[in-house]
Structure 1
Amino acid sequence: MFAIWVLLIYLHFARSCPSECECETDFDYEDGVLVNCENLGLDTIPFDMPSHVSTLYLSYNRLRSMEGLQYYNNLRALELQQNEISEIDATVLQSLPYLKILVLSENEIERLPARLFRGLQHLEWVDLRSNKIGYISDQAFYKANNINYLNLVDNELTGFSDGTFLPLTNHNLWLVLNNNSLTELPSDIAKMEGIQYLSISNNKLKYISPQSLLSNRNLRTLDISNNKISYLHQGTFSGISLHKLEVSGNPWQCDCYLEWLRQYLLTKQVDHTLTCSAPSELRGIKITAIPQPLVCVVPVIAAPEPEIKVIEHKNISIECLVTGDPTPTVSWFKDGDPLEPQANRYTEIVGTHHKLVFRSVMYTDEGIYTCTADNNRDKPSNSTIQLSVLYAPKIVNSYKWSPAGSNDASDTLNDVTLACDVVSNPPLSRPILWFKENRELYGAEEGIKISQTGTGSILYLRNSPNSDNSGDFQCVASNPLGQTVEHFTVTHNDILMVRSSAPGPKRTAGTYHHHITPILLVLLGILMT
């Protein structure tokens, strides 16, 4: 009787199994049939399979679509690895209500749309590795709460929307996200109490928030190897009983900031791969093999010269000697503001010597420079250097002004004001001098007044029928490094009241000193009469 039963089953399979495939009893699922159609060069789903097929192997073919699978709603396991499928057909999937295992690795899939797995209450295993997935809807796993293995390795993922993984509530969940371009842990991880295995190796993580894993009481294995993480905040693993910690391939800075982790790994006896990258004396040593507590050395800065004086257009460098462990990052500031790129200066580092180099220093480079060293282990250290640039006087603002008059008052004469604003280091050797056609003016001449201001000098020319102050005038400023001259020409048109508006002051480019308004100049002139 048994032999007849076996023969009937054989005849049934022989009659309904596609000729190019292999069919056999599926011992994993009662009354099921396993159909193996792998590596046959198929470009369509076979249509003549047993209707009660439970396991279907279609890997290593040329399938571009899942069309046809909806007719085999008894499927429990479906493997479609290494085909040419670019889109997962949600309609097809949702016609497979008993599906437990779905393998779609090594295809061309680019996105997982919303509610893709809706209705698949039995789905446990999803393998989507080695596709081109760059987008996952935050509703993709809607009502797919029974998934306990999700593999998204080797895709094009850069991040996830909040809520994407929250439907995955299985308490034995394995989430594998290796070989993507993630810069941080998915925010949902902090709320997923059931996750047991989390692997996010070979990404671009630099930092893990200490709150990221606080709710993961069930987490036993964490793999963050081959990222760019150099330290973890104390308390990152609070309340977690890790069994295995894979962290190799990260630039671990074994100092006081990792002492808590050394103690955690020793106390909990965690199997781990944490090997120090720095400091140099600990490079290559497993952190739990270090017998003494780990310490930090806060940055120390020494400025060999707190004040530097240099003549303009000379080459000069400002130097800070910086030490610290880990090696500090050095930043430069001028008068409290970060240094902006400038053609005539650049930074140079030789060992612990950090230099700010000036080629042909300019008087505008003068100021208080600060070098700041920070290694994220304590407050940054600072050192200041006063740079004093010595230069011959520079006239930074000069102008000629006469008040407005009426067009028909040509027989009335205007007063004219000439002004020079000067910067100088060292200070001027003497007050600014005024000359008319190379003859020095003292302010006692008829119709002439001279006033020295905090930033320069003003020459008032009072014109009358008896004193015509037209001509060429010079403003001369000097210090031990040289002198500078500004030339003015006062014409009869300046003196005669023939304009309805005054000309604007003449300014030199880049001036930063105070500008005295023409109204104020007139008031000063009246007070001096």
Structure 2
Amino acid sequence: MIVRVFILMTICGLLSCLPFCSNPDYVHIPDPLFRQYCLEQFDSDQDGRISYEEAADAEVIVCSHRGICSLEGIQYFTSLKVLECNENQLTSIDLSGNTQLERLSCRDNKLTSLELRGNKELVHLICGKNQLRTLDLKTNVNLEYLLCAMNRLESLDISHCRNLVFLWCWKNNLQVLYLEGNPQLKTLNCTRNYLKKLDINTNRNLHFVDCSQNPYLKELYTAKRQKFIEMKKDDHTELHTAG
């Protein structure tokens, strides 16, 4: 009798998971906390499930401070333009399927992987205070604002981000930072890295620069008539002007 009751309870438990696990008409969202958020915000017919139509209608997700470990299922939110998922327990995010995304803030997580190769419309990115060692921005050609401070980045290629205006990449492990492809750049904070050389000669719109606390930075190159509103550098960093 006990065995039969146990089997019956097991079957009931499995059946209760079917709306989320095997129903082809509904989005599979395995993380219970992210699923609960989606049900609260997007379950328009209140059937306890998120249909593909409901997911496709959503343009904004703000799910910060919820203890979420996975955003699996977010790829079906194909109209998503804004995502804020700060201060969760995320270790990886893949947004390659969210091609309409314009703004992303995922700071204060545990990210070691951030996939943005499908996000050509991305303009605003905040991914600070994570554990990222690499950040691929080659396809994010419309990016204007980038805050990637307090990670573990050893290199940062922003040469394809020609519209970039704001860059905060302080407190990483950067040894090289190339800015030749960023003519619109106005604000740069690259303090607390391991840069050996910094050339901002071609960044004629750059007005705010902080490259202090780079113990190996010996040479800083600027344009001859370049005017800075604020410039911070270490005493051991020699300033060179050209042009």
What's the CA shift string for 1:473-516, capped at 9, x where partnerless? xxxxxxxxxxxxxxxxxxxxxxxxxxxxxxxxxxxxxxxxxxxx
Question: Structure 2: how far apart are the matches of 1:99 and 1:230?
Answer: 36
The code of the aligned residue for 1:123 comes to: L
Structure 2 counterpart of 1:214: 201
Which of 221, 224, 227 matches 2:211? 224
Structure 2 counterpart of 1:106: 108
Q: Please report the TM-score for the alignment, with normalisation by the length of structure 2.
A: 0.69
Secondary structure of the 1:44 match is helix
Instruction: Report the CA distance between 1:217 and its aligned residue.
Output: 1.7
Structure 2 counterpart of 1:179: 171
Number of residue pairs the alignment of both structures matches: 196
Structure 2 counterpart of 1:468: none
Instruction: Report the CA distance between 1:166 and its aligned residue.
Output: 1.4
Report if aligned partners of 1:117, 1:142 keep a CA contact under 8 Å in 2.
Answer: no
Secondary structure of the 1:145 match is coil
Structure 1 counterpart of 2:151: 155
The code of the aligned residue for 1:202 comes to: R
The code of the aligned residue for 2:228 comes to: L
Structure 2 counterpart of 1:63: 68
Identity %: 21
Structure 1 residues 230 and 59: CA distance shift in structure 2, 3 A: closer
Question: Structure 2: how far apart are the matches of 1:165 and 1:216?
Answer: 13
Instruction: Report the CA distance between 1:190 and its aligned residue.
Output: 2.9
Question: Structure 2: how far apart are the matches of 1:122 and 1:200?
Answer: 25
The code of the aligned residue for 1:213 comes to: I
Question: Structure 2: how far apart are the matches of 1:226 and 1:182?
Answer: 12
Q: Please report the TM-score for the alignment, with normalisation by the length of structure 1.
A: 0.34
Structure 2 counterpart of 1:244: 230
What's the CA shift string for 1:35-78, capped at 9, x where partnerless? xxxxxx96333343333333221111221211122333232211
Task: For CA contacts below 8 A with separation 6 or more, give which structure has more relative contact order.
Answer: 2
Structure 1 residues 253 and 246: CA distance shift in structure 2, 3 A: closer
Larger radius of gyration: 1
Instruction: Report the CA distance between 1:231 and its aligned residue.
Output: 5.9
The code of the aligned residue for 1:179 comes to: K
1:78 pairs with 2:68: no
The code of the aligned residue for 2:197 comes to: I
Question: Structure 1: how far apart are the matches of 2:158 and 2:197?
Answer: 18
Which of 161, 182, 194 matches 1:168? 161
Instruction: Report the CA distance between 1:253 and its aligned residue.
Output: 5.3
Report if aligned partners of 1:84, 1:108 keep a CA contact under 8 Å in 2.
Answer: yes
Report if aligned partners of 1:110, 1:134 keep a CA contact under 8 Å in 2.
Answer: yes
Q: Which has the higher strand share?
A: 1
Question: Structure 2: how far apart are the matches of 1:199 and 1:82?
Answer: 23
Question: Structure 2: how far apart are the matches of 1:111 and 1:237?
Answer: 37
Structure 1 residues 61 and 103: CA distance shift in structure 2, 3 A: same
Structure 1 unmatched runs, 5+: 1-40, 262-529
CA RMSD of aligned residues (A): 2.8
Instruction: Report the CA distance between 1:124 and its aligned residue.
Output: 0.8
Report if aligned partners of 1:214, 1:239 keep a CA contact under 8 Å in 2.
Answer: no
Q: Which has the higher helix share?
A: 2
